A and B are shown apart, each in its own frame.
Chain A
């Protein structure tokens, strides 16, 4: 395979024929309300039937999570009536960027799991009130749900108020153990503790080993790491020489003591589970009370927390160095495991080789083949011309059963002054060594002057992505039917196909028919041969019919 170095720095593989792209389809045709506003969908393909695709979506104005289903590979969609949201926690909206409002994954036996936030007006709103987390379980492909609380924050007051959002990580292991292992990870915020004594947000995880019937007590993964003073000093030292604050912080406050452990945390954890059941959670550092004008925050780094005992204990190692190239501490870092290379971890995230240019983002990729101990240097996966300074961000990543790695993101390289972005896609079939030339998935640019994607709303999420060997399904929020008045936003889906799907239900019937015909032909041949033998002069009655002796007459 000829290797070409693309403009973006990634090593690109010369095709392999590009996949067959299908026409985008409006998945939300069932909703005729002009003011409909759907977020980007989280996609999953039924492992028992690859034509059945599911989409967890949120209607953002109503703040509710729903489930869509397609039984024809994404050509047509229907909304299911049932919702996993508990009746007393009807709202799932999390006011975060880079965030799917709900997710859906399959476990063993076709069981479906749907994690989501939950709150109501009595909880004080999702900006600064109590937000709880739940996981719904369905044994009938979404027609009904039983829902379990993962973190129920209702009733907390004052300093104990808990904002459990965004729900950023979710993984299901249906291979190991007696029942499905379900892992939920999120960022926990403490709005009741404010500056100069704010508490840094924490990457938090909870594990179920009984198919989401019960969940472990949540664990704040960064606490143990930051309990080590050396780790805190390393982060502070990473920002180099810093000036003194213009206005000194209040004596005795956390801001006055930079080394206070409460000033250090992490956010937006992403989860994957290895083939042996090991749980991997990748999170990015966050800080509080450390950026005192003109002193900046320390740069960000990514860390990997790993558990080999279903979440009872965790070890944390550093995944990426402290660098200002890590421009995003609020979402869109994805970790996935694949069986290739004896078990590999793949990590994509937003970064920038030119962090001094705000919003100049690229898709960075790293890989580990030793369980997260060491990682490759970052590669840029978007292959647009870097001199034109476009935004490529909000990556999503999935791994197909055959090990193909699929990555999709939003990209502005086709933007000609109409404030649009597009869904772009690349893949690797050699465990991340080389990547295919980027493909534009959307058929037309998405106008982001319409809808809550940007414009200081920033209610957005990566493109939805689901991977099978034969095809990849994409989903995104699309404003093509909207205008500046009603700002309609729909869910659109499309597929990139690598091989035929299904195989045709008529073929087995035809094969059977053919074989039956052969059998009948054989029977006929035998019958004729016996007939011929009886009618020969050497013996046997003519016509082959014996008459009773008593009726024989001369």
Chain B
């Protein structure tokens, strides 16, 4: 919390729009990520506001698994803690699901961004439903394309260059070969 405001606070001054701000929102952790249908799972979290936390199954409008009262915070802050448990639906098939914690106010409207936690419902039957969570994206190229490949025009020029050099060598040889025999011998002498 901001030093200036909180240092002198004696319960009268409220530090709203706190300079620290829990910008990533509240957290939601599960004691165990693998649970069986009908089994209870313990939840913990921090940075909630004072309103009751409603835990839903797999969607923002999914079935309500339970309501947990946050504890330990001050009236208008977002430093309340969450601790409680909810029960996975008995009919849930094995697979990956999301528990969603929301905080509606007395009017039913949301007061806090929903917080999600992944849970794996395990059982004896297969297959596992749902996609792989947090799947990595498909492989990408490594590094910038720096255009090191030779263009067609450059290849043509290179060919001309090779031809030019070959001409030079061949022409020089022809020049030497075309000189009269006597001149060559005189040159040698």
Taking Cβ atoms with an 8 Å cutoff, the residues of A that contact B are 20-23, 25, 51, 72-75, 96-98, 127-128, 163, 189-191, 193-196, 198-199, 201, 245, 247, 249, 255, 267, 286, 288-289, 291-293, 296-297, 300, 327-330, 354, 356-361, 387-391, 393-394, 414-421, 440, 443-445, 448-449, 453-456, 458, 460, 470-471, 495, 497, 500-504, 506-507, 510-511, 513-521, 523-524, 527-528, 531, 535, 542-545, 547
B127 to chain A, nearest CB (A): 18
Q: Write out the residue numbers on chain B whose beta carbons fall within 8 Å of the beta carbon of A495.
A: 144
Name the residue among B17, B141, B182 with the largest chain A CB count within 10 angstroms.
Answer: B17
Asked if A453 and B24 make an inter-chain contact with CB atoms under 8 angstroms apart, the answer reads: yes
16 contacts between A and B (CB under 8 A): A75-B144, A96-B20, A194-B8, A195-B7, A249-B12, A291-B13, A357-B110, A357-B111, A391-B23, A391-B25, A417-B28, A456-B22, A506-B148, A517-B160, A528-B171, A528-B174
Are A416 and B24 within 8 A (Cβ)? Answer: no
Binding site for A on B (CB under 8 A): 2-5, 7-29, 46-47, 49, 60, 75-76, 78, 96, 98-99, 105, 109-114, 116-119, 133-134, 136-137, 139-151, 154, 156-165, 167-168, 170-172, 174-175, 178-180, 182-183, 186
Q: Are B24 and A391 in contact (CB under 8 A)?
A: yes
A460: chain B residues at CB < 8 Å are 23-24
Whole-angstrom CA separation of A420 from B135 in the bound complex? 12
Contact B46 A389 (CB under 8 A): no
A residues in contact with B26, CB < 8 Å: 359
Determine if B27 and A449 form an interchain contact, defined as CB atoms under 8 angstroms apart.
Answer: yes
Using Cβ atoms and an 8 Å threshold, which residues of chain B touch A510?
Answer: 150, 154, 157-158, 161
Q: Is the CB of B164 within 8 A of A520?
A: yes
Give complex CA distance A293, B15 in Å: 10
Complex: A547 Cα to B183 Cα, angstroms: 8
Majority DSSP secondary structure for residues of B touching A = loop
User: What is the CB-to-nearest-CB distance from A250 to chain B, in angstroms, rounded to a whole number?
Assistant: 9
Given contacts A288-B5, A454-B24, A514-B157, A417 and B116 within 8 Å (CB-CB): yes
Of the candidates B26, B143, B186, the one having the most CB atoms from chain A within 10 angstroms of its own CB is B143
Q: Which residue of A lies closest to B104 (CB)?
A: A357
Query: Does B109 lie within 8 Å of A356, measured CB to CB?
Result: yes
Q: A191-B4, A195-B8, A330-B20 are in contact. Are A517 and B110 (CB under 8 A)?
A: no
* B residues near A544, Cβ cutoff 8 Å: 178-180
- By a CB distance below 8 angstroms, the chain A residues around B112 are 357-359
Which one of B8, B133, B160 contacts A416 once the chains associate, using CB atoms below 8 Å? B133
Tell me whether A444 and B134 are in contact (CB under 8 A): yes
Evaluate contact between B25 and A358: CB separation under 8 angstroms. Answer: yes
Q: Is the CB of B161 within 8 A of A444?
A: no
Residues of the A chain whose Cβ atoms lie less than 8 Å from the Cβ of B141: 20, 22-23
B60: A residues at CB distance < 8 A = 387-389
Asked if A128 and B183 make an inter-chain contact with CB atoms under 8 angstroms apart, the answer reads no
Kindly provide the distance from the CB of A132 to the nearest chain B CB, expressed in whole angstroms.
16
- Give Cα distance in the complex from A417 to B136, angstroms: 16
List, in ascending order, chain A residues with CB within 8 A of B118's CB.
Answer: 416-418
Q: Which of B5, B134, B149 contacts A198 (CB 8 A)?
A: B5
User: What residue of chain B has the Cβ atom nearest to residue A129's Cβ?
Assistant: B3
Task: Please determine whether A502 and B147 come into contact, CB atoms closer than 8 angstroms.
Answer: yes
Which residue from chain A places its CB closest to the CB of B140 in the assembled complex? Answer: A23
Bound complex: CA A81 to CA B149 (Å): 35
Indicate if the CB atoms of B144 and A23 lie closer than 8 Å: no
**Please, which residues of chain A bring their CB within 8 A of the CB of B160?**
514, 517-518, 521
Closest 8 pairs between A and B when the two form their complex, measured CB to CB: A517-B164, A543-B180, A194-B8, A514-B157, A417-B118, A524-B171, A517-B161, A500-B147
Which chain A residues border B16 with CB–CB below 8 Å?
A: 291, 296-297
Q: Which of B162, B168, B175 contacts A531 (CB 8 A)?
A: B175
Give chain A nearest CB distance to B144 CB in angstroms. 4
**Which residues of chain B have C-beta atoms less than 8 A from A528's C-beta?**
171, 174-175
Q: Which residues of A contact B145 (CB under 8 A)?
A: 20, 497, 500-501
Residue contact B147 to A503, C-beta cutoff 8 Å: yes
Given contacts A510-B158, A544-B179, list 20 more A-B pairs with CB under 8 A.
A22-B143, A96-B20, A97-B21, A193-B4, A194-B8, A198-B13, A291-B15, A327-B17, A330-B17, A330-B20, A388-B60, A389-B113, A416-B98, A418-B117, A449-B29, A502-B148, A515-B161, A516-B165, A517-B163, A545-B183
| Structural contact, B146 and A73, CB atoms closer than 8 A | yes
Residues of B within 8 A of A417 (CB): 28, 98-99, 116-119, 133
A451 to B10 alpha-carbon distance, docked (Å): 32
Contacts of B17 in A (CB 8 A): 286, 297, 300, 327, 329-330
**Known A195-B13, A514-B161, A524-B167; contact A454-B27, beta-carbon cutoff 8 A:** yes
Report chain A residues within 8 Å CB of B157. 510-511, 513-515
A543 to B184, alpha carbons, bound, how many Å? 10
